Structure 1
């Protein structure tokens, strides 16, 4: 009798694994696909008028301004990915967007640290349509379903430094321990070139998108954050009142904006060859995005390539790059 029960259980297990489980898995995949298709059906409308500069006759007191941020109702927003190489500053940009609009941004990563720091859209399903834009590093991951896309770019040398800081310090605010002798470290060299390659791949993939696109440069945000946020808000066809403008002005820094160290040691860990390759990558990327109608990297616009590197005067390699 026991043997017979074991036989029945064995047949039942085989039936479940080879018949029922595949059917269930395909059904889940089909459901996810339909969910994305439904999400992507929401229209993206290009902005038709200036909305940032709307003013009111009433003088607002910044101390009483409501700068709270909320989730939108499901299916409110089309899928608009915020694409960037790691280390480009997407966390800071997300904060600025949230302050200017009052709506949370989302992500495909579920970053526990960011969620705990106030990015409450971080754990939301990126297909739900209740966050204004969705952070992603791989363009192709959402390209099939997005209705528009934003790309955040930054000097790739600074990107490598920022990403090294994040990984080494295990967080968004820490800083790695930098040593001048890292120039000869094979792991460091491989790390830098992996990020260079990812940078190039992201730009190439972005240039192949057929939906409306916007490119934002980190260096422009540093110089004039409000103007850059205005461009993004207009692109997303959002209306910003005077209160939200005050929020973006008075709370533009956020909790996760790593302050750049005055030390030049991180830059000195790059070999001459690495710097030359980074500058060549920037020229290639600038040419590609300019062909698509976007602004080249700011340091390359009407300036020699050496201006792209903040401490170039200390580096002989800039003069010798072919």
Structure 2
């Protein structure tokens, strides 16, 4: 009987050790996923037909984004040599014009931008309307900047609960220092414009338009709350955590200040020399329609929604001032009211 008890006790101890080991292994794996979120999002391959799909092959073949323009068609864009460029994130809230901004940066530098999202299409289409054949791999050290929406981009369930899950359970809050050594470029756009682009993107993709019914009702109220909070929270966290980097403003890239804005960016990330002819070509082709909505309906916000979003703008403006960075060009903002007043 005593021998039986001893055997049972040994088995229980062994079982406890096994369970403890499994727990620690799971915890370690979870921590590893949190600390290598870029790899989690990009390098871990997606399952396709039950098999792991392969990453695209590294291909430095150049493409020519401005074919048909006699002044600009000689300029090409291609990947840099592997591990020749520092990893810089271009982070933004979805709907902030990052694809359009990437087009200009690629044209000026001659190097592709990348994306942390698997199979994210190139921002530039060829003359047939197809995506150019470049490799989007932020781990290759061959792209000038890499698109990263961080926790603001969500698959499936949307909203603040999903946002906090990505931030605090999956480690996205630490991406700027864990993955980018506190480097970063933050692209900001008027959230009163972003909210409509974001809703269209949610329901109709990059170039489609959501039904007018999508901009009213309880679900629209939840979207307002989500964008108002997450747009500001994302911006402030990156502003506070970036040691080397800057902020870009979508509205300034639209007007006469675009060249100064882009030169400031390229100076910060250490790209030189800047080709003045490439700059002229990039700016002259700002109106290209790759991945853009062809129909943009003017939509209004209710006063309570404008105030909610203005509070977010105020919070980000204060954060930029504390940092000593350029401030939001609020005077250029469309407040989406009938009379143009808040």
Same fold at TM > 0.5: yes
Give the match's secondary structure for 1:214: strand
Name the structure 1 match of 2:254.
222
Name the structure 2 match of 1:292.
323
After superposition, the C-alpha distances for 1:178-207 in whole angstroms (9 at most, x for unaligned) are 25x944x00111112212221122122112
Counterpart among 118, 123, 137 of residue 149 in structure 2: 137
Per-residue deviation at 1:117?
2.4
Change (3 A) 1:289 1:310: same
Per-residue deviation at 1:121?
4.1
Distance across 2 between alignment mates of 1:81 and 1:195: 21
Per-residue deviation at 1:111?
4.3
Distance across 2 between alignment mates of 1:290 and 1:210: 14
Q: How do residues 1-322 of structure 1 correspond to structure 2 at under 5 angstroms? A: 62-63=70-71, 65-114=73-122, 117-118=131-132, 120-122=134-136, 124=137, 126-138=138-150, 140-147=174-181, 148-170=183-205, 172-179=206-213, 182-183=215-216, 185-224=217-256, 225-238=258-271, 239-254=273-288, 255-259=290-294, 261=296, 263-264=297-298, 266-267=299-300, 270-299=301-330, 308-314=333-339, 318=342
Give the match's secondary structure for 2:248: strand
After superposition, the C-alpha distances for 1:125-162 in whole angstroms (9 at most, x for unaligned) are x1221111111112632432314210000111111111
Contact 1:66 1:243 in 2 (8 A): no
Per-residue deviation at 1:247?
3.0
After superposition, the C-alpha distances for 1:284-320 in whole angstroms (9 at most, x for unaligned) are 11111111011221015xxxxxx7334434377x2xx
Distance across 1 between alignment mates of 2:96 and 2:190: 8
Give the match's secondary structure for 2:117: coil
Q: Which runs of 5+ in 1 are unaligned?
A: 1-17, 37-60, 301-306
Change (3 A) 1:143 1:73: same
What TM-score, normalized to structure 2?
0.66
Contact 1:279 1:308 in 2 (8 A): no
Name the structure 2 match of 1:3.
none
Q: Which runs of 5+ in 2 are unaligned?
A: 1-20, 40-68, 124-129, 151-172
Count the aligned residue pairs: 255
RMSD (Å), alpha carbons: 3.1
Give the match's secondary structure for 1:127: coil
Contact 1:165 1:175 in 2 (8 A): yes
After superposition, the C-alpha distances for 1:254-308 in whole angstroms (9 at most, x for unaligned) are 41243562x43x22xx3221111101111111111111011221015xxxxxx73
Distance across 2 between alignment mates of 1:291 and 1:100: 31
Name the structure 2 match of 1:12.
none
After superposition, the C-alpha distances for 1:8-48 in whole angstroms (9 at most, x for unaligned) are xxxxxxxxxx99xx79x97xx69x96x98xxxxxxxxxxxx
Change (3 A) 1:284 1:315: same
Greater relative CO (CA pairs within 8 A, separation 6+): 1
Contact 2:96 2:250 in 1 (8 A): yes
Distance across 1 between alignment mates of 2:135 and 2:105: 12
Per-residue deviation at 1:62?
4.1
